[in-house]
Amino acid sequence: MPEKYPFSEPRLPFPTRMVVVGSGTIEVYVIPDDRKEAVLKELYPFQPIPALNKVMEDIHAEKKFKVKEFLVTREDNMNILVSPYYFESGGTVIDWV
């Protein structure tokens, strides 16, 4: 029988907290401010990597945020870089402009 999630990324070295969403929960890393830049460099899939103080917009939420406000979730054995509005709109890093 095939694995449910055949791709797996290593966990980040940070504690997590559980966020209740709908009928389930999502695991969110608790990343110290002094490690945010390193995590962004590791997970940001595009070039150039934005500065932490850059203002971007989550196109799904239609709200602006500073990059340093990003969240990283742990879902399906993957680390997912998301906007601070992820729980209301579902905006991941590909939805930042």
Q: 51-63: string of b/e by CB count within 10 Å (b at 16+)?
A: eeeeebbbeebee
Which phi and psi (to 5°) does residue 68 adopt? -60, -10
| The pLDDT of residue 36 | 98
Domain definitions of the chain by residue range: 16-95
- pLDDT by residue for the chain (97 residues), tens only, comes to 455 656 789 999 999 999 998 878 999 999 999 999 999 999 999 999 999 999 999 999 999 999 999 999 999 999 999 999 999 999 999 999 9
3-state secondary structure of 73: strand
What are the CA-CA distances from residue 32 to residues 9, 10, 69, 95 (Å)? Answer: 21, 19, 11, 24
| The pLDDT of residue 23 | 79
Its pTM stands at: 0.90
| The pLDDT of residue 22 | 83
Neighbours of 22 (CB within 10 A): 7
